[in-house]
Amino acid sequence: GDSVTQTEGPVTVSESESLIINCTYSATSIAYPNLFWYVRYPGEGLQLLLKVITAGQKGSSRGFEATYNKETTSFHLQKASVQESDSAVYYCALGENSNNRIFFGDGTQLVVKP
Amino acid sequence: EAAVTQSPRSKVAVTGGKVTLSCHQTNNHDYMYWYRQDTGHGLRLIHYSYVADSTEKGDIPDGYKASRPSQENFSLILELASLSQTAVYFCASRTGGSQYFGPGTRLTVL
């Protein structure tokens, strides 16, 4: 089926360190997957962080980057230098424009220590 | 300013009671969704709607009803709340391939 697997949290890093949260997907019923990273800050709803709809392309937002790799079915989230304000739960997700469904991973809690 | 709002933000209900969660969007989007999230897990789709007065079942519809009286409003109804329905509930609206979420409602059933 269609599913997403991501790094199990919590992930704890120190401020100014680099970050990678792994995400792999399985898209059996979706012909042209769109890939997303959502973020949920404490007390808030999910916000779209970045979206990539074309394999081989990279999305970026707020210093975060993710590259859509069709060969390895991956969409890892990276940031070169994290800040304490990046502490949140990050969700990788899979969907399609013509499909009304989005499939979410379980979320990865990121804790950034000052 | 918030485009998707939910009420209440938290609720405590008794087993067997009726619970209604409300969602309102100002995005002018056709699609709206209800998800639940259990601690440590991702979002699972309960019901969705693509037009007023019509709802569709998602992956886990049992024990839930949905109502879409207008494009802006989408409610989730638990006729007989159970302990297993304790969770955080998120509403979302959609345009193109992207969904936009409300802040969530934390429901505790005792």
Would you say residue B4 has pLDDT above 90? yes
Q: In Å, how far are A33, A34, A70, B49, B100 from A74, measured between CA atoms?
A: 12, 12, 7, 30, 23
* Nearest chain B residue to A4, by CA: B42
Binned at pLDDT 50, 70 and 90, residue A97 comes out as: low
How do strand A11-14 and strand A108-113 relate by DSSP bridges?
Answer: parallel
From chain B, the residues in CB contact with A44 under 8 A are 103
Would you say residue B14 has pLDDT above 80? yes
pLDDT value of position A99: 60
Higher pLDDT, B66 or A44: B66
pLDDT tens-digit profile of A72-95? Answer: 999 999 999 999 999 999 999 998
Would you say residue B76 has pLDDT above 70? yes
Distance CA B22, CA B75 (A): 5
Buried b / exposed e along B35-70 (16+ C-beta atoms within 10 A)? bbbeeeebbbbbbbbeeeeebeebeebeebebebee
pLDDT tens-digit profile of A7-50? Answer: 999 999 999 999 999 999 999 888 788 999 999 998 888 899 99
Would you say residue B96 has pLDDT above 80? no
* Nearest chain B residue to A44, by CA: B103
Is the CB of B102 inside 8 Å of chain A's CB atoms?
Answer: yes
pLDDT value of position B84: 96
